Amino acid sequence: MKLISSKFIHSIAPQLNLLNTIGGGVAQPQLRVDQHPKGVIVRVAMPTVAADSFRVVLNQQKLTVFGEYRHKPDDQLAAPLFVQILDLPANLDVARIDAIHEGQELRVRIPFLNPRDQQREIDIKRNE
């Protein structure tokens, strides 16, 4: 006598894997920040996470990188896999951040501010 169908088991298996990871497995990405002459690269490696599960959000000088799990791409409910928040220094050009996912690694590239762009003459308005 079969109590549970194989279709049910296949549909619930991803959730069980997720619960096992959240409950006791390791779901921490390997995060590394590399400084280069033109800027910094934040590298986030988490081989089991698909490229479309990563999110990168910039709020003022805080960069948040997180991953979420959805059973199906159009699911409304998402479970967080990891969250990393980085305070960015003032010498980075946050207007020119870009990100690329390539071969199991997310790379967020942030160039340094050009010192010439930081200095400018301010127009003086006359109040008459």
CATH number of the CATH domain containing 47: 2.60.40.790
In a domain, 97, yes or no: yes
Taking the C-alpha atoms of residue 65 and residue 56, their distance in angstroms, rounded to an integer, is 5
In a domain, 102, yes or no: yes
pLDDT reported for residue 26: 45
pLDDT reported for residue 114: 81
pLDDT reported for residue 6: 66
DSSP single-letter state for residue 29: -
In a domain, 55, yes or no: yes
In a domain, 17, yes or no: no
Inter-CA distances, 91 with 56, 113, 122, 127, Å? 20, 6, 21, 34
More confident residue, 47 or 119: 47
In a domain, 62, yes or no: yes
Question: How high does pLDDT run on average in the chain?
Answer: 80
pLDDT score of 108 more than 50: yes
In a domain, 56, yes or no: yes
Residues 110, 40 contacting (CB under 8 angstroms)? yes
In a domain, 53, yes or no: yes
- Check the CA dihedral 65-71-72-76 and report its sign: negative
| Overall domain count for the chain | 1
In a domain, 52, yes or no: yes
pTM: 0.67
Domain extent at residue 105: 28-117
pLDDT reported for residue 117: 63
